[in-house]
């Protein structure tokens, strides 16, 4: 959530940057400024009346002590009248504050200056590519046929037990999932990330804090009896660990990683792009999250991009990194890099990770702050500041599995990258 003072002081910049995200409800900016001005006027009236009440109440005690009971009773009447007048002012103030908050949460995060203009994924910028695309023979088949041939994944059984987009992994398919998850977690913890195993459901405050609500409400599964949401990503519970907390500056950066199943309704998805593992309603993912000092967040973003890139290189998969254009970015992101791997059998790029800097957009919602350390020549600590939050997939499994099966297939087996041999307990799926 953007801060009102920033919007008021930088209105033209805000409008220009919202245009990069193709945000059409620009009248909200003026509405927010008007509501804040109204809030300040009512707040002044409230404070002025409260001050009169405080002064009169103090006078009552002094008059009583001086034996001037009649004057004290007059002051009591005055206080009662002022308190009666204060109540509707307080109600009006609460209503304006609620309206202001409801309008503020409709404004997306502002894109970073480096975000390219554009409306569609085709307008994203390719930052760099790595690895070599394999040359497969004519007998090569897509992963859903390989999964059936090697008895790795049963899509029909998932459809029977739950529905489309909920596959069963079995035999070496289940073992490959487990191997990838453990490798990803070990890779992240070796880089200094603390591992968590979070809940798979969150409350409304947590979903609101990371920006899933109200923007993605229709994309989440909802347990209405308890008012819980199934998580679309581990980012939601993990980032909320520090909601409403103040940390010391010397604790930053806070680096966290977690494996969870993820649940997404994917409403509106259809056609060939959803076949097999390309788009699921339940899938496994390992996430990385960082809470950092505002001055270092873009340096950390590049470090996280490099971290994910090296992970993909270790899997021996051809990949490319994209800087998302304004129209393809999420509601909460200020800058996002997408990672895609090349699926040789499908002859298409598949997204496997997004690494994003949210600046203070999420931390303002969650009130995650840090207390600056003592500096030389300063007798007291500075004011608390909002941290910057970042997260990335490290990695999402379905399309990684799809690319591994397809790109590493031969006539007789599927060859696994060397880094997985010890985790999988073998070099091939035969």
Residues forming the annotated binding site for ATP? 264-266, 351-354
Tell me how far apart the alpha carbons of residues 114 and 124 are, in angstroms, rounded to a whole number: 12
DSSP string, 146-200: HHHHTT-EEHHHHHHHT-TT-PEE-HHHHHHHHHHHHHHHHHHHHTTPEEE---S
Distances (CA, A) of 29 to 32, 35, 47, 71, 134: 5, 10, 27, 51, 50
* Helix or strand (DSSP H, E) at 71: helix 69-104
Q: Is 275 exposed, middle or buried (0-12, 13-18, 19+ CB in 10 A)?
A: middle
SS (H, E, C) 202-251: ECHHHHHHCCCCCCCHHHCCEECCCCEEECCCCHHHHHHHHCCCEEEHHH
User: Which residues line the annotated binding site for L-serine?
Assistant: 233, 264, 287, 391
Q: What are phi and psi of 304, to 5 degrees?
A: -70, -35
Tell me how far apart the alpha carbons of residues 110 and 14 are, in angstroms, rounded to a whole number: 7
Looking at the DSSP bridge assignments, the partners of residue 342 are 349
DSSP string, 109-141: PPPPTTPPP-SSGGG-EEEEEES------TT--
Structure tokens that stand for 172 in this block: 């070496």
Using only C-alpha atoms, the chain has a radius of gyration, in whole angstroms, of 27
Sign of the four-CA dihedral 10, 13, 15, 20: negative
Tell me how far apart the alpha carbons of residues 353 and 87 are, in angstroms, rounded to a whole number: 52
Q: Is 121 exposed, middle or buried (0-12, 13-18, 19+ CB in 10 A)?
A: middle
Tell me how far apart the alpha carbons of residues 138 and 33 are, in angstroms, rounded to a whole number: 63
How many Å separate Cα 289 from the centre of its chain?
Answer: 9
User: Which residues line the annotated binding site?
Assistant: 233, 264-266, 287, 351-354, 391
Tell me how far apart the alpha carbons of residues 390 and 296 are, in angstroms, rounded to a whole number: 11
């Amino acid at each position: 959530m953007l801060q009102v003072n920033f919007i008021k002081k930088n209105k033209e910049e805000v409008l220009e940057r919202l245009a990069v995200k193709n945000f059409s409800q620009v009248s909200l900016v003026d509405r927010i400024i008007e509501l804040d001005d109204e809030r300040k006027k009512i707040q002044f009236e409230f404070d002025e009346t409260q001050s009169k009440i405080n002064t009169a109440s103090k006078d009552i005690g002094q008059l009583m002590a001086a034996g001037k009971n009649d004057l004290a009773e007059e002051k009591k009447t005055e206080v009662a009248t002022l308190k009666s007048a204060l109540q509707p002012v307080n109600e009006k103030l609460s209503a304006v504050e609620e309206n202001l908050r409801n309008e503020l949460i409709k404004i997306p995060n502002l894109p970073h200056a480096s975000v390219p203009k554009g409306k569609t994924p085709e307008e994203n910028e390719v930052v760099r590519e790595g690895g070599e695309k394999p040359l497969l023979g004519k007998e090569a088949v897509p992963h859903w046929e390989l999964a059936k041939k090697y008895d790795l994944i049963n899509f029909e059984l998932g459809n029977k037990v739950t529905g489309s987009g909920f596959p069963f992994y079995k035999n070496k398919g289940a073992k490959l999932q487990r191997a990838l998850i453990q490798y990803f977690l070990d890779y992240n913890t070796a880089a200094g990330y603390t591992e968590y195993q979070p809940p798979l459901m969150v409350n409304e405050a947590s979903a609101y804090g990371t920006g899933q609500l109200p923007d993605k409400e229709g994309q989440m599964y909802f347990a209405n009896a308890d008012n819980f949401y199934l998580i679309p990503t581990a980012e939601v519970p993990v980032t909320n660990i520090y909601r409403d907390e103040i940390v010391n500056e010397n604790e930053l950066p806070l680096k966290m990683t977690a494996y969870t199943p993820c649940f997404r309704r994917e409403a509106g998805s259809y056609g060939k792009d959803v076949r097999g593992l390309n788009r699921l309603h339940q899938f496994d993912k390992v996430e990385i999250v960082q809470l950092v000092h505002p001055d270092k967040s873009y340096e950390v973003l590049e470090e996280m991009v490099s971290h994910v890139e090296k992970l993909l290189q270790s899997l021996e998969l051809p990949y490319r990194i994209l800087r998302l254009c304004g129209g393809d970015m999420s509601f909460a992101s200020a800058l996002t890099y997408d990672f895609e791997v090349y699926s040789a059998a499908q002859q298409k790029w598949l997204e496997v990770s997004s690494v994003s800097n949210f600046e203070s957009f999420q931390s303002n919602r969650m009130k995650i702050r840090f207390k600056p350390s003592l500096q030389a020549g300063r007798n007291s600590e500075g004011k608390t500041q909002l941290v910057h939050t970042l997260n990335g997939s490290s990695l999402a499994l379905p399309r990684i599995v799809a690319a591994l099966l397809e790109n590493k297939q031969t006539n007789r087996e599927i060859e696994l990258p060397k880094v997985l041999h010890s985790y999988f307990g073998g070099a091939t799926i035969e």
